[in-house]
Amino acid sequence: MAKEDLVEVEGVVSEALPDSRFRVALESGHEVLAYTSGRMKKNRIRILAGDRVTVEMTPYDLTKGRINFRHKDERSAPPMARPTQQKRR
pTM for the predicted model, two decimal places: 0.74
Residue 53 bridge partners (DSSP): 11, 70
Per-residue confidence band for 84, with pLDDT thresholds at 50, 70 and 90? confident
- What is the spatial distance between Cα 31 and Cα 16, in angstroms, rounded to a whole number? 13
pLDDT tens column, 11-42: 999 999 999 999 999 999 999 999 999 999 99
Given this model, what pLDDT does residue 66 score? Answer: 96
Given this model, what pLDDT does residue 87 score? Answer: 77
- What is the spatial distance between Cα 84 and Cα 55, in angstroms, rounded to a whole number? 35
Given this model, what pLDDT does residue 81 score? Answer: 67
DSSP calls for 24-52: EEETTS-EEEEEE-HHHHHTT----TT-E
- Structural domains of the chain, ranges and CATH numbers in brackets: 3-70 (2.40.50.140)
- CA separation, residue 4 to residues 7, 10, 59, 62, 83 (Å): 8, 17, 11, 16, 42
